[in-house]
Chain A
Amino acid sequence: MGKYLVKSLLQMIPVLLLISLIVFVLVRVTGDPVALMLPESATEADRATLTRELGLDLPLYQQYGIFLANAIQGDFGTSFRYGESALPLVLERLPASFELAFAAMALAVMIAIPLGIWSAVKRNTFIDIFISGISVLGKAMPNFWMGIMLILLFSVMLGWFPVSGRGGLTHLILPAITLGVSLAAQMTRLIRSNMLEILNQDYIRTARSKGIFELFVIGKHAFRNGLIPVVTIMSLQFTSLIGGTLITETVFAWPGLGQLLVSAVNTHDMAIVQAAVFVIAIFVILMNILTDLVYRLLDPRIKYN
């Protein structure tokens, strides 16, 4: 397993190199940073000086080399909006984003697993149709609209929760529900179809014919085998989770990385965009490796090589 882990981590390097190249190219294409940084009254001499200072007069491959060398040391440039180094600004937003993402995923799993199983067990009954209906509605409803409607109902009309911002548990509930419910809508269908597959298996039929209480059939025999696809389903939702977090943070003014990134994109603060993209890319790759490991741990039939 150690060898597999090392191999996976090493495979991160070419991927990160590719991402660094894409980001470098994109940033150079955005426009002239010199023009952005200088006032309109700047002279040609001022422009030339700044160009030399920023190293923009060097050949592109050299600029890329400098960019890469800086990136490895964690220097992605200075945010012109905040006047500070980009990477620390990005990293200090991470805990808030993790808090929201974790709460939402936990909620999604708590909703989707029971509903998915129940829907599968009561296939083609009113319960199944009802749950499927809610699931489709959850998919069709944009999560930012759901968030706004939740604010309207619970914050404005009922006054139970704050409208925005991060604080204690009361601040977390509405954003977590917004993000969690939309994830749950997608997961419920997947869990339902997985459970249906499992429930059709021979060993389930055998357990039932042995006269085992239905709850044990599902709980002991079906569910454990159902766990592996659930891990896969959760990992498939992962990219939706990141995208959803970005939007939910904007709706609720949640001070996470997503909110920072969106405002950086709107203000063309490319240093922050670069740093944020890198951090998210590393995170995605690490999560994929982790998911793979968990997957292999759960199913002893899978070999590490």
Chain B
Amino acid sequence: MAIPTESGAGTLPVPPKKRSEARGLKKGLRQLLRSKTGMIGAVIVLIVCLIAIFAPLLATHDPNAVAPIDRLKPPVWLEGGSSDYLLGTDNLGRDIWSRIVYGSQVSLIVGIGAVLVSGAIGAVLGVTAAYYGRWVDAIIMRLADSLLAIPTILLMLVVLAVVGPGMWTLIFVIGATNWVSYARVVRGEVLSLKERDFVKSARMIGARSGRIIFRHILPNVMSSFIVLSGMNVATTIIMEASLSFLGLGITTPDVSWGGMLSDGRQYVATSWWVATFPGMAITITVLGVIFLGDWLRDVLDPRMKLKNG
């Protein structure tokens, strides 16, 4: 379809029409059902999300309730275990099952939150670099290269040494150090889209830069963005767990799986469950996110799209 110009002298090209949403969703579900790992990933992520949402209903105790008399109780199926504490208790008598349930909230909030922050920063910087070009582009890309050369955890350690631990600090710090891949992808897409006819024609009609960026360029960048975000949630969850394990991430009253592992480390000789279950929770969650992310990439990757028609 093309828009005729006012004078009738010709037609202006328009951006490709987006398919109707309902058809896209049905097709997506069908593709998901066909992929075994994608299905497993989706189910795991769904379960973790449900656990996080319904945490107050699923937890059997207050995750921060200290009960010294019940410290280091084994899981229910072992001798000495009790049905009060399904997965046992930690060194302060806190119920491990409840802490894992509430820990899922933190992992998801930080995982998704940090990815949103880095995505936003990366998108803005990437679009800016590509759209305005020349020295703006050079400065931003140099900054990106320097950031990539620094070991991420080292950078975060130093920043957290200065600003102190905490959930929102962590979200912002992880987000602010992980924007490079987003910026690169967005910049690449914008550079190639910049020369396409529908953008040039939009400019000719007199559309302002901001309008062009949001209406025409960003929607076309979305799929790469989603794929990147899927992969980054996994690394962010592990990053948060690592920092919490080192004592620099989440602090009480928030519960973190990484923090639980740090507590459990000293008791691994006598009470293996304190460190085992939080680690399993992290591994299973991240595995689910990786599987789902891989499936998203297979579905949204333009090369795959062309193959399937």
Contacts and interface: CB of A to CB of B under 8 A. Distances in A.
A136 interface: yes
Contact of B269 (A156, A266, A273, A285): A156
Interface string A139-165: 111101100110110001000000100
Interface stretch (A106-114, A210-218, A244-252): A244-252
A152 B234 CA distance: 26
A145 B150 contact: no
Contact of B275 (A145, A268, A288): A145
Nearest to B242: A247
Nearest to B294: A136
Chain A binding surface SS class: helix
B265 interface: yes
B285 to A, nearest CB: 8
B161 A30 contact: yes
Given A156-B269, A239-B149, A266-B248, A140 B154 contact: no
Contacts of A288: 149
A275 B234 CA distance: 32
Given A145-B283, A148-B268, A149-B279, A139 B290 contact: yes
A240 B148 CA distance: 11
Contacts of B269: 156, 163
Interface residues of B, number: 40
A239 B149 CA distance: 7
Nearest to B269: A156
B74 to A, nearest CB: 14
Contact of A239 (B152, B275, B287, B290): B152
B272 interface: yes
Interface in A257-305: 261-262, 264-266, 268, 270, 273, 277, 280-281, 284-285, 288
Contact of A250 (B149, B161, B246, B286): B246
Interface string B126-165: 0000000000000000000010111111100111111000
Given A136-B287, A152-B272, A266-B248, A142 B241 contact: yes
Given A163-B269, A284-B149, A144 B245 contact: yes
A262 B153 CA distance: 11
A264 B287 CA distance: 33
Contacts of A15: 146
Interface residues of A, number: 42
B279 A142 contact: yes
A91 interface: no
B157 A261 contact: yes
B121 to A, nearest CB: 18
A242 B275 contact: no
Contact of A142 (B148, B157, B242): B242
B180 interface: no
B157 A30 contact: no
Nearest to A143: B242
A30 B261 CA distance: 28
A29 B161 CA distance: 11
A250 B279 CA distance: 16
A265 B248 contact: yes
Given A239-B152, A268-B161, A144 B287 contact: no
Interface of B: 146, 148-154, 157-162, 234, 238, 241-242, 245-248, 258, 261, 264-265, 268-269, 272, 275-276, 278-279, 282-284, 286-287, 290-291
19 contacts: A26-B161, A136-B291, A137-B283, A139-B234, A141-B279, A141-B282, A144-B242, A145-B278, A145-B279, A145-B283, A148-B268, A149-B276, A152-B276, A156-B269, A163-B269, A243-B152, A277-B158, A280-B151, A284-B151
Given A26-B158, A144-B242, 11 more contacts: A142-B238, A148-B264, A149-B276, A239-B148, A243-B154, A246-B153, A246-B246, A247-B242, A262-B157, A264-B161, A277-B158
